[in-house]
Structure 1
Amino acid sequence: MAKGKVLVVGGTGYIGRRLVEASLRQGHETFVLQRPEICFDIDKIQTLLALKKKGARVVEGSFSDHRSLVQAVKMADVVICPMSGLHFRTHNLLLQLKLVEAIKEAGNIKRFLPSEFGMDLARMKDHLKPGNVTVHEKMEVRNAIEDANIPFTYISANCLAGYFVGSLSQLGTLVPPKDNLTIYGDGNVKVVYVDDDDVATYTIKTIDDPRTLNKTLYIRPPENILSQRELIGIWEKLIGKELNKKSISGQELLDMKGDVDYVTQVIICRVYHIFIDGCLTNFKVAEDEEASKLYPEVNYKRMDEFLKIYIPN
Structure 2
Amino acid sequence: MLSFNDFVSLWEKKIGKTLEKTLISQKINLSRKSMGDIYDHNSLVEAIKKVDVVISSVGMEQIADQTKIIAAIKEAGNIKRFLPSEFGTDVDHIHPVEPAGTFFRNKSNIRRAIEAEGISYTFVVSYGFAGYMLPSVGDSNAKVPPKEKVKILGDGNCKVEDPRILNKILKLRPPTNILSFNEIFSLWEKKIGMTLEKIYIPEDQLLKNIQATELSPEVKYTTIDEYLDRLV
TM range (shorter): 0.7 to 0.9
Q: Is the 8 A contact 1:34 1:59 kept in 2?
A: no
Q: Name the aligned partner's letter for residue 97 of structure 1.
A: T
Q: For structure 2, which runs of at least 5 residues remain unmatched after alignment?
A: none
Aligned positions of 1:153-168 closer than 5 A: 153-168=122-137
Quickly say closer, same or farther: Cα 1:82–1:214, change in 2 above 3 A: farther
Structure 2 equivalent of residue 31 of structure 1: 8
Quick one: higher RCO (CA 8 Å, sep 6+), 1 or 2?
1
Distance 1:213 1:99, change over 3 A: farther
- 1:256, distance to aligned residue in structure 2 (A): 2.0
Partner of 1:218: 171
- Give the 5 Å matches for 1:97-136: 97-124=67-94, 126-136=95-105
Tell me the equivalent position of 1:17.
none
Match of residue 299, structure 1, among 220, 223, 230? 220
Deviation of 1:50 after TM superposition, in Å, equals 4.3
Q: CA deviation at 1:181?
A: 0.8
Structure 1 Cα separation of the partners of residues 172 and 211 of structure 2: 34
1:270 aligned partner? none
CA shift at 1:165, angstroms? 2.0
Kindly provide the CA deviation profile for residues 214-262 of structure 1, in whole angstroms up to 9, marking residues without a partner as x: 60111111111111011011111111112221111111212222454x6
- Whether the 8 Å CA contact 2:34–2:50 is kept in 1: the answer is no
- Cross-structure match for 1:170: 139
Give the alignment partner of residue 49 of structure 1, picking from 21, 25, 43: 21
- C-alpha displacement at 1:35, in angstroms? 3.6
Moved over 4 A (4+): none
* Distance across 1 between alignment mates of 2:154 and 2:18: 42
Residues 178-197 of structure 1 show CA distances to partners (whole Å, capped at 9, x for unaligned) of: 322112222111125xxxxx
Mapped contact 1:152–1:214 kept (Cα < 8 A): no
- Structure 1: state its 5+ residue gaps: 6-28, 40-44, 86-90, 193-211, 266-294
Task: Using the TM superposition, give the Cα deviation of residue 46 of structure 1 relative to its aligned residue in structure 2, in angstroms.
Answer: 4.5
Counterpart in the other structure of 1:143: 112
Taking every aligned residue pair, what percent have the same amino acid on both sides?
40
1:245 aligns with 2:198: yes
The 3 A distance-change label for structure 1 pair 234 and 299 is same
Alpha carbons of structure 1 residues 50 and 119: separation in structure 2 relative to 1, 3 Å: closer
Deviation at 1:2, TM superposition (A): 5.5
- The separation in 2 between residues aligned to 1:99 and 1:111, in whole angstroms, is 12
Q: Distance in 1 between matches of 2:97 and 2:63?
A: 19
> Residues 37 and 43 of structure 2 are in contact (CA less than 8 Å); yes or no, is this contact kept in structure 1?
yes
How many angstroms apart in 1 are the aligned matches of 2:105 and 2:49? 29
Displacement, 1:100?
0.4
Match of 1:84 among 46, 59, 65: 59
Partner Cα distance (2:19, 2:71) in 1: 28
Structure 1 residue 162: Cα displacement: 1.8
- The secondary structure found in structure 1 opposite 2:195 is coil
Distance in 2 of aligned mates of 1:50 and 1:135: 27
Q: Is the 8 A contact 1:152 1:213 kept in 2?
A: no
Instruction: Report the residue type matching 1:158 in the other structure.
Output: Y
Q: How many residues align?
A: 226
| CA distance in 2: counterparts of 1:92 and 1:46, whole angstroms | 17
Q: 1:62 aligns with which of 4, 28, 37?
A: 37
Moved more, 160-169 or 143-152: 160-169
Q: Which has the higher helix share?
A: 1
Deviations 1:263-313 (A, max 9, x none): xx2xxxxxxxxxxxxxxxxxxxxxxxxxxxxx21112221110111111xx
**TM-score, normalization by structure 1:** 0.66
